[in-house]
């Protein structure tokens, strides 16, 4: 039988049509789908022994308590520590994804010199040469740590300078430092004992201070109550997250916070609502009304509401002398529920934003916020765990990332009591990273290591016999058996909490009302975040939902 | 003993920080895909913002965390699934999603009145090395399946194992806490057994401030909300009032 071309085509078409009524193509399609859904290279979670360790978050100076779940030596999840005396079990939304940060594509893994890959040896030689040619300025973003002491010792030994980029919470305390001499880093707010808090733009429920400190307080004493035990009055230009949940919201024009503080203080003094403690502001209620957009009656009502239930304290979102002066008028300085001095050992620091002259080199620690750019012509050596893009640093040096470095954690900014904790290194650091303290030890071998300083501090705490050690239970330091025991507990996640403040240790004298400071832009939920990147999962709150606006200049 | 796990979310305490969303994603190995949007992303816990629509100082806003409501009766996603990939666990009341059975038809997404189900449009992917940070207690889901909140079922398994190791039949309530509940910095989300009248969450769900979203549908969701603010409660009640006929019909189903 002869098979024609037509027969072949007919047979092929028939076979194709017949195949469609069999299960074969559908089974093949199904198998291909299943196979392609389960590629062998689809990520699989790690396997290995599971352990849980306690530590402190080191991504900002608030040092929240962390419970870290580890598998095979790698952190696979973080949660808050309910017994932590500062954060009380809370973390910020960024903290919950922080264990993924060390794998971020922007992780800095090699030394870079003006955009080109370089080596530690070349960076070391360049810095040593600069040190031999002139003074060095060292800039830190988290003072008070053991590593900070190493940096400060180095700067002083080289006739250089140690400067600090302070957090917004600490900058808001600078007016009190100018008026009393007490360092801003030694001051805090006794929010736990306040009955009324007037926030002039401070994002109390949105990234101000340690996340758990005020939010827990607000949830327990203010949330949902028509007549709350804690009255939160928010002065804000827009309905911010804090304003939306505050007991009262006073919408004012942006930048008019100082004028409103002066207007309120004038009403308080004129109507004798407070004992006369400060100078009369020059701003009248009518002038304050004109500048703020509120009516003069609204300002008078606000002043009466503020003092209706004390203790009362006013909070600024940055260095704003008028709001500090309002606290002086309110009698909220050095008193229960007001601005208090928690430490007598803290030091004042030179602010890093002043121009740096006659320095040969500037070394910037990784704790300094990425958006900080020093005003200098000197050669800049910048340590960073992640590369945030454009930077004026001549040298970019890879630093340890999240929980890759031993560090101690002094009291969070604006705390009312001293605290001390130790964050042990939980994650394995890549071999190519070095901390600034390790780098400087290569230049000056006489510098003490951070570990040695931490041990000495633990000894000091033990011999001081003051304060309490907070872990699952609270133990007075006087009952801890030995210095080694105290150190061991701190390494395992316990927190030392100092004695409560004493009111008589802090006074502010104010002779005349301060001149109005330049307006400060409002902070947002990222104000404490120093890294140039965000955990990838943070995109859930601004990219996959409309909860927050996309942060500018940050790489998620 | 059968449980009926549920939540009571105190809207007066929610600050809309988003910690619950991130903690949920981290616990359940949800990838953060660069191209994901509000429409194509995976957010088993999603916080939405609503306002009283007033102007000036009288304007108020409240944040509503939306998750799977774990409907108890005539669960819409269960009844439409052609693959039996969704079922209500009789022992816990948790609405379970089985990705191995799911064929990705998305009928369940259409049936869900709360838009609490999400489709995996893309292969799960993380930057190189980041798979070392994944939670080993939860399997990574494949592309082409629907997923949703399962009240952190992996944690329930862990609690059961712990109880079994201790020779107990019942889990300790403190051992089973979903990630969002644990993460909430204001303790706004409460989780417990609604079937146990002594459970604080069960008692809260019966308080006068408590309400459920779209209660008129009669699906008996197990996620309750509560607020002392009248306008917030009215907002939820007005949803029922818009269609009283449907509400009556639902009661007779």
Per-residue pLDDT tens digits for B56-99: 778 888 999 999 999 999 999 999 999 999 999 999 999 999 99
Report the C-alpha gap between B141 and B147 in whole angstroms: 8
pLDDT at site B249: 43
Whole-angstrom CA distances from A421 to A86, A351, A475 are 11, 25, 15
pLDDT at res. A371: 86
In this prediction the ipTM stands at: 0.90
Distance to chain B for A522, nearest Cα, Å = 17
**Subunit contact B10:A93, Cβ cutoff 8 A:** no
pLDDT at A179 over 80: yes
Give residue-wise pLDDT tens across range A365-391: 999 998 888 888 899 999 999 998 777
Residues of A in contact with B130 (CB under 8 A): 43, 100, 103-104, 536
Pick the closest to residue A69 from B8, B215, B133 (CA basis).
Answer: B133
Grouping H, G, I as helix, E, B as strand and the rest as coil, residue B211 is strand
Substitution target from A244, A538, A540, A542 for chain B, most B beta carbons within 10 A: A540
Question: What's the pLDDT score for residue B118?
Answer: 95
Residues facing A462 on adjacent strands: none
Contact by Cβ (8 Å): A532, A386: yes
Query: If residue A298 lies in a helix (H) or strand (E), which one and from where to where?
Result: helix A296-308
How far apart CA A491 and CA A483 sit, in angstroms, is 12
Note the pLDDT of residue B240: 47
Residue whose C-alpha is closest to residue A540's, from B126, B34, B116: B34
CB contact under 8 A, A79 and B136: no
Residue B251 scores a pLDDT above 60:
no
Local confidence band at A523 (pLDDT 50, 70, 90 cut-offs): low
Strand order in the sheet with A112-113: A116-117, A112-113, A395-398, A379-384, A361-364, A136-140, A161-164, A350-351
The secondary structure of residue B135, as a DSSP letter, is: -
Q: A169-342 sits in which CATH class?
A: alpha beta
The residues in B 104-133 lying below 8 A from A, measured between CB atoms, are: 123-133
Give me the residues of A, 429-488, that contact B with CB < 8 A.
none
A537 closest CB neighbour out of B15, B26, B145: B26
Neighbouring CB atoms inside 10 A of B49's CB total 16
Q: How many other CB atoms are found less than 10 A from the CB of residue A444?
A: 14
Provide the chain B residues 5-44 that lie in CB contact (below 8 A) with chain A. Answer: 10, 12-13, 15-19, 21-23, 25-27, 29-30, 32, 34, 36-38, 41-43
* CA torsion, ordered A188, A190, A196, A201, to nearest 10 deg: 20
Residue A19: exposed, middle, or buried by beta-carbon count in 10 A (0-12, 13-18, 19+)? exposed
Would you call A297 helix, strand, or coil by DSSP? helix
Say how far apart CA A30 and CA B176 lie, in whole Å.
Answer: 37
What whole-number distance in Å separates Cα of residue B202 and Cα of residue B130?
Answer: 40
Which one is predicted more confidently, A255 or B224?
B224
Using the beta-carbon criterion (under 8 Å), do A79 and B41 form an inter-chain contact?
A: no
CB spacing of A45 vs B228 below 8 angstroms? no
Residue A87: is it exposed, middle or buried by C-beta count within 10 angstroms (0-12/13-18/19+)? Answer: buried
A371, A528 Cβ separation under 8 angstroms: no
A160 Cβ neighbours under 8 A, 6+ residues apart? A135, A136, A137, A138, A154, A359
Question: Which of A241, A540, A556 is closest, CB to CB, to B21?
Answer: A540
Cβ atoms of B5 and B190 closer than 8 Å: no
Average pLDDT on A124-149 reads 93
Judge: A544–B37 Cβ closer than 8 Å, yes or no.
yes
Determine the topology of domain B5-251 in CATH.
Alpha-Beta Plaits (3.30.70)
What is the per-residue pLDDT across A450-496, written as a single tens digit (0 to 9) for each?
999 999 999 999 998 899 999 888 999 999 999 999 999 999 999 99
A226 interfaces chain B, CB cutoff of 8 Å: yes
- Write phi, then psi, for A94 (nearest 5 degrees): -75, -35
Read off φ and ψ for residue A462, nearest 5 degrees: -65, -45
Nearest-Cα residue of chain A relative to residue B128: A103
pLDDT value of residue A504: 60
Distance in angstroms (rounded) separating the CA atoms of residues A100 and A80: 16
> Does A219 reach chain B within 8 Å, measured CB to CB?
yes
Where do the domains of chain A lie?
5-37, 50-103, 112-167+347-503, 169-342
Q: What is d(CA B153, CA B94) in angstroms, rounded to the nearest whole number?
A: 9
Ranges of beta strands (E only) in A112-195 are 112-113, 116-117, 136-140, 161-164, 187-189
Q: B201, B190 in Cβ contact below 8 A?
A: yes
Domain residue ranges in chain B: 5-251
d(CA A476, CA A496): 9
- The answer to whether residue B54 neighbours chain A at the CB level (below 8 Å) is no
Residues of chain A positioned with their CB less than 8 A from the CB of B15: 205-206, 215, 241-242, 245
Tell me which of B8, B18, B44, B125 to substitute to probe the interface with A (most A C-beta atoms closer than 10 Å): B18
- pTM for the whole structure: 0.91
Inter-chain residue contact A245 with B15, CB threshold 8 Å: yes
Residue B238 has pLDDT above 70, yes or no: no
Determine contact, residues A311/A195, Cβ cutoff 8 Å: yes
pLDDT at A505 (0 to 100): 67
Comparing C-alpha atoms, which of A87, A313, A278 is closest to residue A187? A313
Is the minimum CB–CB distance between B66 and chain A shorter than 8 Å?
Answer: no
- Residue A546's pLDDT is 83
**A40 touches B: beta carbon within 8 Å:** no
Q: What percent of chain A has pLDDT over 70?
A: 97
Query: How far apart are alpha carbons A29 and A42 in whole angstroms?
Result: 20
CATH number of A50-103: 2.20.25.90
Residues A396-437: pLDDT tens digits?
A: 999 999 999 999 999 999 999 999 999 999 998 999 999 999
């Amino acid at each position: 039988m002869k098979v024609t071309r037509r027969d072949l085509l007919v047979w092929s078409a028939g076979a194709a049509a017949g195949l469609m009524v069999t299960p074969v193509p559908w089974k093949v399609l199904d198998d291909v789908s299943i196979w392609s859904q389960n590629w062998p290279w689809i990520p699989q979670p790690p396997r290995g022994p599971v352990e849980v360790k306690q530590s402190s978050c080191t991504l900002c100076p608030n040092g929240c308590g962390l419970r870290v779940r580890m598998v095979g030596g790698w952190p696979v999840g973080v949660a808050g520590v309910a017994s932590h005396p500062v954060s009380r079990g809370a973390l910020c939304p960024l903290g919950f994804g922080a264990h993924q940060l060390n794998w971020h594509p922007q992780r800095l893994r090699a030394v870079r010199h003006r955009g080109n890959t370089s080596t530690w040896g070349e960076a070391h030689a360049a810095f040593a040469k600069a040190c031999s040619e002139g003074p060095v300025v060292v800039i830190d973003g988290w003072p008070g740590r053991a590593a900070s002491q190493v940096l400060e010792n180095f700067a002083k030994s080289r006739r250089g300078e140690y400067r600090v980029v302070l957090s917004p919470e600490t900058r808001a305390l600078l007016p009190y430092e100018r008026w009393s001499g007490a360092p801003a880093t030694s001051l805090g707010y006794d929010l736990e004992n306040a009955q009324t808090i007037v926030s002039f733009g401070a994002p109390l429920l949105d990234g101000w201070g340690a996340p758990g400190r005020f939010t827990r307080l607000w949830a327990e004493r203010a949330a949902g109550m028509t007549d709350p035990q804690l009255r939160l009055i928010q002065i804000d230009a827009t309905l911010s997250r804090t304003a939306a949940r505050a007991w009262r919201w006073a919408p004012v024009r942006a930048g008019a916070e100082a004028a409103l503080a002066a207007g309120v203080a004038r009403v308080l003094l004129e109507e004798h609502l407070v004992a006369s403690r400060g100078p009369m502001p020059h701003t009248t209620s009518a002038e304050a009304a004109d500048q703020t957009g509120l009516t003069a009656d609204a300002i008078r009502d606000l002043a009466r509401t503020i003092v209706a239930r004390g203790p009362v304290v006013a909070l600024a979102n940055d260095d704003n002398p008028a709001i500090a002066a309002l606290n002086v008028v309110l009698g909220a300085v050095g008193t229960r529920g007001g601005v208090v001095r928690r430490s007598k050992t803290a030091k004042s620091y030179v602010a890093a934003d002043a121009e740096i002259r006659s320095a040969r080199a500037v070394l910037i620690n990784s704790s300094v916020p990425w958006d900080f750019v020093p005003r200098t012509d000197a050669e800049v050596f910048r340590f960073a765990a992640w590369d945030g893009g454009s930077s004026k640093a001549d040298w970019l040096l890879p630093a340890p990332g999240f929980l890759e470095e031993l560090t101690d954690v002094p009291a969070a900014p604006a705390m009312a009591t001293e605290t001390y904790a130790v964050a042990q290194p939980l994650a394995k650091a890549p071999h190519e990273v070095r901390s600034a303290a390790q780098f400087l030890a290569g230049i000056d071998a006489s510098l003490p290591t951070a570990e040695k300083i931490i041990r000495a501090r633990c000894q000091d705490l033990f011999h001081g016999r003051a304060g309490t050690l907070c872990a699952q239970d609270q133990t007075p330091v006087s009952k801890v058996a030995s210095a080694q025991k105290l150190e061991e507990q701190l390494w395992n996640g316990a927190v030392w909490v100092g004695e409560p403040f004493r009111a008589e240790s802090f006074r502010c004298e104010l002779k005349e009302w301060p001149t109005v400071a330049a307006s400060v832009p409002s902070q947002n939920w990222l104000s404490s975040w120093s890294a140039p990147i965000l955990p990838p999962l943070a995109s859930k709150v601004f990219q996959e939902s409309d909860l927050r606006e996309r942060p500018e200049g940050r790489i998620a | 003993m059968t449980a009926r796990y549920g939540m009571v979310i105190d809207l007066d305490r929610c600050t809309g920080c988003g910690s619950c969303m991130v903690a949920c994603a981290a616990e359940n190995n949800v990838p953060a895909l660069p191209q994901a949007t509000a429409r194509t992303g995976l957010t088993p816990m999603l916080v939405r913002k609503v306002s009283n629509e007033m102007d000036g100082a009288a304007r108020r806003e409240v944040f509503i965390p939306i998750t799977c409501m774990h409907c108890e009766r005539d669960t819409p996603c269960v009844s439409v699934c052609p693959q039996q990939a969704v079922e209500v666990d009789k022992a816990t009341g948790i609405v379970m999603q089985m990705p191995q059975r799911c064929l990705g038809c998305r009928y369940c997404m259409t049936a869900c009145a709360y838009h609490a189900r999400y489709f995996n449009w893309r292969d799960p992917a993380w930057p190189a090395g980041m798979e070392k940070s994944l939670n080993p207690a939860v399997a990574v889901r494949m592309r082409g399946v629907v997923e949703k909140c399962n009240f952190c079922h992996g944690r329930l398994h862990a609690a059961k194992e712990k109880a079994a190791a201790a020779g107990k039949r019942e889990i300790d309530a403190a051992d089973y806490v979903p990630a969002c509940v644990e993460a909430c910095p204001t303790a706004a989300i409460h989780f417990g057994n609604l079937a146990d009248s002594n459970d604080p969450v069960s008692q809260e769900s019966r308080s006068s401030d408590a309400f459920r979203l779209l209660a008129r549908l009669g699906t008996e969701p197990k996620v309750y909300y509560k607020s002392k603010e009248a306008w917030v409660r009215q907002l939820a009640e007005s949803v029922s009032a818009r269609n009283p006929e449907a509400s009556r019909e639902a009661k007779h189903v």
